[in-house]
Amino acid sequence: MRSPALTSRQSAAADAGSSRRYLPRKAVFFRFVTTLLLGCAIALSAKSVDVPTAEWIGPAVSFWAVAIFFVWLDRFSRDGTSRADRAELVRLGRWISVALRRSVLWLGFVVPRPTSSRSVAVRIVVWVLVVPTILGAAVYLFLNYGIDAGARWPVTSADEVAANEARREGIVRGGVYTALTAAFFGAAVGEEIVFRSFVLAEQRRASSTWISVSVVAALTLIMFAVSHLAYGTGNVVTGLVLGVVCTAIALYTRSLWPAIVVHGVYDAIIMVDMALSV
């Protein structure tokens, strides 16, 4: 026969697990908004590395501030305290740190884990450095020499020509440094957050199926390809192929880092070539 104390402890543990599993709607809302704001803040911060001007730094700082405010608002709505003593400030700081770290993980900034038997260092080297670099270079070779996308879908529209020339002039003027920052920070980080985080979020959802993940992946791929429409049909095709590779490796590794590196390496090869072609 179970003792009353043991039964009470088991019941309390079950209640705690249930409360973690089924959060109140208000808590879910605050966590969703915080993660969304933090994604925008990280993307804008990365863009600010590429273009360190008030036009990008100002919005980045603003999104960080609003994200932190929503974390505080979440705590205040739960606790309702208005104290401002040292202990409360320490607890608030820890709450903000945990909430932001959780949101970063939800965005997909986690160690790749296709096989948990490998050490963290090995997984980082293989799935953040080696494999994505090879894939990024392979996608470039396939699109530029395998199917020759530029020749198959030449840029003819005046607006498309102007958009490509403006991008080229900016890279040439900034040199190799600008080419690398534009590839990894100006494009890869922000675009992967926007177009791949949703796929990873659907993959992590407890009730997701391969059909739901495929639907979300297809929708984000279409959006990613269409976002390159201003640079011509060829750019849409290359964007679609690159998007498929980035989505596949993100889903396989359950991490955003490999997709960022694939995207960054592909863009870096193109942009460094632009910078050196003068």
By the 8 A CB rule, do 268 and 184 touch?
Answer: yes
Q: List % helix, strand, coil for the chain (3-state, nearest 5).
A: 85, 0, 15
Q: How far is CA 110 from CA 101, 119, 120, 157, 169, in A?
A: 10, 14, 11, 41, 36
By the 8 A CB rule, do 234 and 224 touch?
Answer: no
pLDDT score, position 88: 80
d(Cα 200, Cα 221) in Å, to the nearest integer? 13
d(Cα 40, Cα 65) in Å, to the nearest integer? 12
d(Cα 44, Cα 64) in Å, to the nearest integer? 10
Q: What are the pLDDT digits (tens) for 47-71?
A: 999 999 999 999 999 999 999 999 9
Q: What are the pLDDT digits (tens) for 5-50?
A: 444 444 444 444 444 444 677 888 899 999 999 999 999 999 999 9
Residue pointed to by tokens 């966590």: 31
What six digits make up the tokens of 278? 């003068």
Domain boundaries, the chain: 4-106, 120-276
Among the ranges given (75-84, 121-130, 151-160, 217-226), the one the predictor scored with the smallest mean pLDDT = 75-84
d(Cα 253, Cα 238) in Å, to the nearest integer? 23
Per the document, the length of the chain is: 278
Instruction: Give Cβ neighbours of residue 136 (< 8 Å, ≥ 6 apart).
Output: 261, 262, 263, 264, 265, 266, 268, 269
Q: What are the pLDDT digits (tens) for 252-269?
A: 999 999 999 999 999 999
pLDDT score, position 89: 84
* Amino acid in position 163: A
pLDDT score, position 19: 40
Instruction: Give Cβ neighbours of residue 221 (< 8 Å, ≥ 6 apart).
Output: 195, 240, 243, 244, 247
Number of H helices, E strands in the chain: 12, 0
| Nearest 10 degrees: Cα torsion 115, 117, 121, 124 | 0
Q: What are the pLDDT digits (tens) for 105-162?
A: 999 999 998 876 788 999 999 999 999 999 999 999 999 999 999 899 999 899 999 9
H or E element, residue 190? helix 190-204
d(Cα 275, Cα 56) in Å, to the nearest integer? 23
- 42 φ/ψ angles, rounded to the nearest 5 degrees: -65, -45
By the 8 A CB rule, do 149 and 232 touch?
Answer: no
How is 23-65 classified by DSSP, letter by letter? --HHHHHHHHHHHHHHHHHHHHHHHHHHS-SHHHHHHHHHHHH
